[in-house]
Every structure is written in structure tokens, then in C-alpha cells.
Amino acid sequence: MADRPTVLLTNPVHPDAVALLEPEAHLVTAPDARPETLRALAAGADGIIVRAKLPDDICDHGPRLRGIVRHGVGLDFIPVAAATAAGIPVANLPGSNTGAVAEYCLTAILHLRRPLYAMDAALRRDGWGPARGLADSLSEIGGSTLGVVGVGTIGRRVARMARDGFGMTVLGASRTPGRMPEGVEEAAIDDLFARSDAVVLSCPLTDETRGLVGERLLGLMKPGAVIVNVSRGPVIDTAALVRALKGGRLGGAALDVYDVQPLPPEDALLDCPNVLLTPHAAGITATSMRNMSLGAAGEMLRMLRGDTPVNLVNPEYRKA
């Protein structure tokens, strides 16, 4: 139908979401996520479902835009202030990939603490005895201490899984003191880093958290402790982390986010020992992708109909 609105997808979405959208909208999937490509396609779009970073001036190039939906949670891909000024509602999907990210965090800690893949490789390469000998140096996470920086939706799920599933003692640090869930001990950031055997970063990137984990906090960590970052790359001072890893101060690090994405092939992290690197995929599973796609499709259809989305993040857009 010629009068159907057009929805721009910065990246493909789950087929079930396509089936939900297609009867009511014409779908255009961007061939790439370059700023110039997205600007050009935004000119004919009534809505955008976002899985890649939008250019900061995207609203200037989308005169017909009636809504922008984040296929996920983090809003750093969307120029929310500019959308608000242009009178465009923005929605996201809080909780849509919480389980996937929380499972990633615990999997990463287990990977760093008890790397069974290395034992498997040794068994195949060196035989039974040498492989079995590796177990003597591995440690259990049960009974150890986990520090969670940013005890929001994801941090709370990580804390609960660690405490109830593995019997870990959980410390939490948050920008809003006094609101720790049951079973999480509130701790000052220095104390958390000094006491924890593993630290998970699940805080948002703000002026206060940019470069938060640098030489000083890394220096407070126990020798052999591990750190997992599922927040944003700049929360960690990467150069300081590289020095700590290469100097043998840490037991390891698992990173899903970086200062520059995609990770450049010459990045110093690639030469570090005991580091697990994944391509910003902590929240991506077949399950979460379907949940996020269906959630984004539902929110977009509400916006196109003129209804208020369930998870409107900029209610002040109406005053623009």
C-alpha cells in the first residue's frame, strides 16, 4: 500500500518482528551503518529501529520521523536530546536482554577462573596426565567475592545469580546509595575493588564513570582477581588495563565493549595474556534477539499510530 509509513532498520531484525511490521509499514534495511547512508535513508523514513549508532544530526535529515526505537537498552546510539528538540519520541527496551548479559558475566568469570577449554586442548595435545595437572591451579568461584559496579537491572540479575547460584558474597557500588537489593552489601568503590575476587562493570557511561577504572583502582585489586566489562569501553582506562594484564597483576579480563568499535586489528588488547574478547555480543542470543526485535516492532507500531510507547524515554518531546 502506497500510504504505508516507512520504517528504517539500521540492521536486520528477527523474522517474527518483520512479520509483525510488514502489514502496517514498508521496511527498509540499511545496507551499511555509515553515517551518510543512514542520513540518506532517514529522508524517507517515518520511524527508525536502531541497532547501530545514528549520526548526531540524523533528525535534521528525517523530516517525517515520528519515532525512534532502540533495539535494546543503551541510548548512546541515539541523539536523544536532538530528537526531543525535534519533537520526536524515543523508546528503548529495558530488561529485554538482561538475562543474556547476566549469563555472559557469569560465563566469563568461569572462563577466566576455570578455563576448561584449555584443559580440553591440553588433553588433545599432551595427553591425560598433563591435562589433569592443570586442574591443580584452577579456582572455584563459590565462596569468593564478587563486586558489581552499577547495580541496576543487569547488575541486580548478576548479583542474584552469583549469590543464589554460586554462593558468592556480593558487594555493590551504585550512583544511588542506599538502594542495594537484599543480599548485596553496599561498598565504597575503593573497598569493592580491594575486596573482590571478580568485578563486573555494568554501569552506564557518564561523565563520572568515564575512565573510572584506571591505574589506581586496578592497583587495589587482589593479585589474580578478574574484571568483566559489559558497560561501555571508556569506563576502563584501556592503557592501564593493558599494563595490569601484561604485568601479571590481574588474573584476567573479559571485555565485550571497547573505546573503538569494531576493535582495530592492531589494538594492544589483542596481545594481552588472559583476556577474553567478544564483539559487543553479551546481550545477543537467539532468545534475546527475538525478544528485542518483537519489543522494538511493538513500540514502533504504537508510535506510528500516534500512541505513547510503553518505554518512552523523553516525555518532554511533546513540549518541543
The whole-model pTM stands at: 0.89
The three cell numbers locating residue 297: 516492532
pLDDT digits (tens, 9 = 90+) for 14-70: 999 999 999 999 999 999 999 999 999 999 999 999 999 999 999 999 999 999 999
Q: Could you tell me which CATH number the domain at 98-277 has? A: 3.40.50.720
| Residue ranges covered by each domain of the chain | 6-96+286-319, 98-277
317 CA to centre of own chain: 26
Nearest to 213 by CA among 191, 229, 235, 242: 235
Longest dimension (CA), the chain: 71
77 CA to centre of own chain: 12
Q: Which residue has the cell 543480599?
A: 183
**Whole-angstrom distance, CA of residue 155 vs CA of residue 97:** 12
pLDDT digits (tens, 9 = 90+) for 105-146: 999 999 999 999 999 999 999 999 999 999 999 999 999 999
**Whole-angstrom distance, CA of residue 101 vs CA of residue 106:** 9
Res 2: pLDDT: 53
Res 175: pLDDT: 87
Cα atoms in the 13 Å half-sphere on the side-chain side of 243:
11
**Of the options 3.30.365.10, 3.20.20.70, 3.40.50.720, 3.40.640.10, the CATH number for the domain spanning 6-96+286-319:** 3.40.50.720
